[in-house]
Chains A and B, each alone.
Chain A
Amino acid sequence: MPATVKFRGRTMEVEAGTRVEDVLRKMGLSREGIIARVGSRLVTEDYRLRDGDEVELISAISGG
């Protein structure tokens, strides 16, 4: 069972072992503008996803 990554209402599957920073790079997101949650905990960009992890990327940037 791979890990899943949720961002802005979309979900995608990611292989276990991938780092959060690789996911961000692939999605073209800057790590300066995102926080990443796994379960109820925030993780840093070097975190390697494990099988079954549910990761949510939360945008920190607001307009206005």
Chain B
Amino acid sequence: MRCSRCRRLAVINLRAHRLALCERHFVQRFLEVVERAIRRYSLMHRSSKVLVAVSGGKDSLALWDALTELGYSADGLYIDLGIEKQDYSRISREKAEAFAEQRGLRLRVFSLKEEYGSAMPELRRGSRELCSVCGIVKRHVMNRVALEGGYEVLATGHNLDDEASVLLANLLRWNTALAARQAPRVEAWHEKLRPKVKPLCLLSERETATYAFVRGIDYVSELECPFSAGATSIAVKEALNRIEEHSPGTKLYFYTQFLKHREIFAGEEEEKAPVRECSSCGFPAGGELCSFCRLLLKSRLGGEKGDNRADSRVG
């Protein structure tokens, strides 16, 4: 197959767009689509100081690379969860560090163990599923680092497949409250929080993998977080890809048309509890302590240390 633009050998066939592209034209188009998403959904300004959450996987590194290519000033944040199983945290951290070093970019590494004395598996102690604990921790750390570092926007590597599959999963259960909250830019609802943006939301997972490959990005590929409850989300993604095979363009249409008609879900959002400030860390909380500090307290080991840390660092 040849490139639709220059007739060189193509590296990807985008049936949804009736386009086959060579390396050079693929990269060019990829960057255009990132920029298009940033403008169309008002994700950020040219001058915005951006903090990219990097996991060491293809999507977040591709995002960091693309934003840098486009001229945005973007630093990376790697949150070391301290997951020792399969050496997951160590290997993914090394990928993120190597990427930053090669390109002369600034990576902030935040280690849970060093900062709070507890790694992710200890924070779960006795309660909840690990992934929901992990979500709370990541959200807290991202906002904290963004606030302390003076970043205006938090960017994550969610791609079209992530967004379309979450949307489908929510609609299959008619979880309209969750659907109402899904957007390429989620506004901050408190002065200490930062808006979250997803500049890769118009690009499929196959496109981000291709971009990572042709840009020579070394990412954690075969290795998934050993705690990944990904089976369900992968099943939904595969189902969407089956439909996509038959009707190319379905994923993009499904997601972008949802964004156009999002107002039909308006008012479905769950009410936020009246906002207070966490007595320990100062971040917004539903009660006396925010959900993150409650986890710290429960893990006992990290409780006290974490509280001191929090007081000295924020405020």
Asked if A35 contacts B10 (CB within 8 A), the reply is no
What are 9 A-B contacts with C-beta separation under 8 Å?
A: A44-B11, A59-B221, A60-B204, A60-B209, A61-B205, A61-B241, A62-B224, A64-B228, A64-B230
Asked if A42 contacts B205 (CB within 8 A), the reply is no
**Minimum CB distance partner of A43 in chain B:** B11
Asked if A35 contacts B213 (CB within 8 A), the reply is yes
Main secondary structure of the interface of B (DSSP, over half): helix
- A44 partner residues in chain B, CB cutoff 8 A: 1, 10-13, 20
Asked if B224 contacts A64 (CB within 8 A), the reply is yes
Select one of B20, B23, B205, B222 contacting A60, CB under 8 A.
Answer: B205
Shortest CB-to-CB span from A54 to chain B, Å, is: 16
- A33 partner residues in chain B, CB cutoff 8 A: 205-206, 237-238, 241
Asked if A30 contacts B241 (CB within 8 A), the reply is yes
**Minimum CB distance partner of A21 in chain B:** B13
- B58 partner residues in chain A, CB cutoff 8 A: 60, 62
Select one of A32, A37, A42, A43 contacting B241, CB under 8 A.
Answer: A32
- In the complex, B210 has a CB within 8 A of chain A: yes
Asked if A58 contacts B214 (CB within 8 A), the reply is no
Asked if B214 contacts A42 (CB within 8 A), the reply is yes
Asked if A63 contacts B230 (CB within 8 A), the reply is yes
Which residues of B are interface residues toward A (Cβ below 8 A)?
1, 9-13, 20, 23, 57-59, 131, 161, 204-206, 208-210, 213-214, 221-222, 224-225, 228-231, 233-234, 237-238, 241-242, 244-245
Instruction: Report the bound CA distance from A33 to B1 in whole Å.
Output: 19
- B221 partner residues in chain A, CB cutoff 8 A: 58-59
**Minimum CB distance partner of A63 in chain B:** B230
**Minimum CB distance partner of B242 in chain A:** A30
Asked if B231 contacts A63 (CB within 8 A), the reply is yes
Asked if B213 contacts A42 (CB within 8 A), the reply is yes
Instruction: Report the bound CA distance from A59 to B205 in whole Å.
Output: 10
- A31 partner residues in chain B, CB cutoff 8 A: 245
- A34 partner residues in chain B, CB cutoff 8 A: 206
Instruction: Report the bound CA distance from A61 to B48 in whole Å.
Output: 30
